[in-house]
Structure 1
């Protein structure tokens, strides 16, 4: 049988930071009554399970992203994981647009480095009044962690640029897999590379693909991002525990897929370790 990948696998000894994971612990932190989605079964992802997964694959650190699913604006599960991680984790919290500077400072003191703006779920209209929040993030040196899909970036791009905030874009900006690298939303993302304050997560290719793993139709987007941003503004994320996945996803093959897409060892080192360590302040 022909090998799926031609590049060598990522060795366990390669230092790694996973820049997109979630934690769910409904026994200790029950879901909100009005939650968008209630993760169950294999989607449950406690801090202990996250630590065991990382140990198994030689992952030193992770950015835990607060989910809209399960908890909404309730960050207790996230903050508990940050406290118990004792420096192994950083966090991105979910907060209302009207959140003030003092609340953000308290989150920052607990290990939160940014706030998620899930435009892909909540829509562009929801964030029309987010400028004051972005101003607070800029003043505190925190990140706006933006998830968009298709051409949504075109709508929020002016506000993001005007704010002066540091931006990290999740999941390659989730382009339409059928529209190619020239589609307006993705072209707008590539344009942001010249600002010097935008980074992108090479993560969750399943969200940018109409094909089964290894999602070859999404590879041109990754290649375009590497060419535009360079390894110094890119990072890798798994999106574990793979909420609402259309088919089975395994952590090890995701790492091997990254190795196929980034065969150069220096670029791998930057994307998996140097860049997120520098940008998010891991020690």
Structure 2
């Protein structure tokens, strides 16, 4: 008789904490989308999983894309069900969504909700119903994730801090690389980091750091690591790179991270330990015969 299958611990966690996936065959672009995505800007969960494996990543945090899907989270929820434990999700939630839907999304693997502060199509923090949305998210133990550019954070911060949810900031806050560290929005982001109830994604270097090797992003990444502390930094690729102005891939973005964090132990915290603690990822056991 063959021995019963056993399991062995997988490799250490390595999490891409910012990506988007699509399934246009089953979930076409939705009327609530903020903008359209081109054919070369979309990718399926299966394609993303292949990219992760090629670069030694075990898990991913998927963000429902305002570009294409808006507040339609059906594709994301379907992916979370099909890839049990491999992915977790951040939803874009319309104000007025039923309370039971929050619980259903939570059970499926949603751990946060996102606000795109510079896009009118995104549910707004100042809109009627936003306070209820934030309260329901807080009851589920979610965080509030914000994507913005420039100084938009200044108006949003008081609302977010009153809501009492942990705050996750996308793409280093997308500063203007030519404006220096003292630009008001970035200065407010550093102050938020020092207060201790927020996490920053060391992502999006290709969005504000010039072309490869993104050296214009270096002073901003270094200031954020200092202000937030290594334990409240995570990394994400932003795959499949919607609206990218240059050729982008995981390898070039990870090269920038290696420059910011030359110590391997620090990189493991940002790529594995921190997202596991903050987002609830667990190692995936590998079955062996």
- Whether the TM-score (by the shorter chain) exceeds 0.5 is yes
In 1, Cα distance between equivalents of 2:140 and 2:165: 9
Tell me, yes or no, if the aligned pair for 2:206 and 2:212 is still in contact at 8 Å.
Answer: yes
Tell me, yes or no, if the aligned pair for 2:115 and 2:122 is still in contact at 8 Å.
Answer: no
User: Is 1:77 aligned to residue 75 of structure 2?
Assistant: yes
Partner of 1:163: 163
Structure 1 residues 99 and 34, CA, compared in 2 at 3 Å: closer, same or farther? closer
Partner of 1:233: 232
After TM superposition, give the deviation of residue 152 of structure 1 in Å.
Answer: 0.7
Correspondence list, 1:234-273, <5 A: 234-273=233-272
Stretches of structure 2 lacking an aligned partner (at least 5 in a row): 1-10, 283-289
Structure 1 residues 128 and 79, CA, compared in 2 at 3 Å: closer, same or farther? same
Partner of 1:86: 84
* Residue deviations 1:44-69 (CA, integer Å, cap 9, x gap): 21111011111111100000000111
Structure 1 residues 89 and 124, CA, compared in 2 at 3 Å: closer, same or farther? closer
Tell me, yes or no, if the aligned pair for 2:231 and 2:269 is still in contact at 8 Å.
Answer: yes
In 1, Cα distance between equivalents of 2:214 and 2:123: 31
Deviates more, 1:266-275 or 1:36-45: 36-45
Tell me, yes or no, if the aligned pair for 2:172 and 2:203 is still in contact at 8 Å.
Answer: yes
Partner of 2:39: 41
Give the SS at the match of 1:115: strand
Tell me, yes or no, if the aligned pair for 1:242 and 1:249 is still in contact at 8 Å.
Answer: yes
User: Is 1:23 aligned to residue 21 of structure 2?
Assistant: yes
After TM superposition, give the deviation of residue 208 of structure 1 in Å.
Answer: 2.0
Count of matched residue positions in the alignment of Structure 1 and Structure 2: 270
User: Is 1:153 aligned to residue 150 of structure 2?
Assistant: no
Partner of 1:139: 139
Tell me, yes or no, if the aligned pair for 1:124 and 1:155 is still in contact at 8 Å.
Answer: no
After TM superposition, give the deviation of residue 113 of structure 1 in Å.
Answer: 0.3
After TM superposition, give the deviation of residue 195 of structure 1 in Å.
Answer: 2.9
Tell me, yes or no, if the aligned pair for 1:75 and 1:93 is still in contact at 8 Å.
Answer: yes
Greater CA radius of gyration, 1 or 2?
A: 2
The alignment's C-alpha RMSD in Å is 1.7
Deviates more, 1:87-96 or 1:28-37: 28-37
Tell me, yes or no, if the aligned pair for 2:198 and 2:232 is still in contact at 8 Å.
Answer: yes
User: Is 1:60 aligned to residue 58 of structure 2?
Assistant: yes
After TM superposition, give the deviation of residue 124 of structure 1 in Å.
Answer: 9.6
Correspondence list, 1:174-193, <5 A: 174-193=174-193
After TM superposition, give the deviation of residue 100 of structure 1 in Å.
Answer: 4.2
Partner of 1:7: none
After TM superposition, give the deviation of residue 40 of structure 1 in Å.
Answer: 2.9
Partner of 2:30: 32
Q: 93, 97, 100: which is aligned to 1:99?
A: 97
* Residue deviations 1:171-211 (CA, integer Å, cap 9, x gap): 011111111111111111111123322000000112223x2
Stretches of structure 1 lacking an aligned partner (at least 5 in a row): 1-12
Give the SS at the match of 2:248: coil
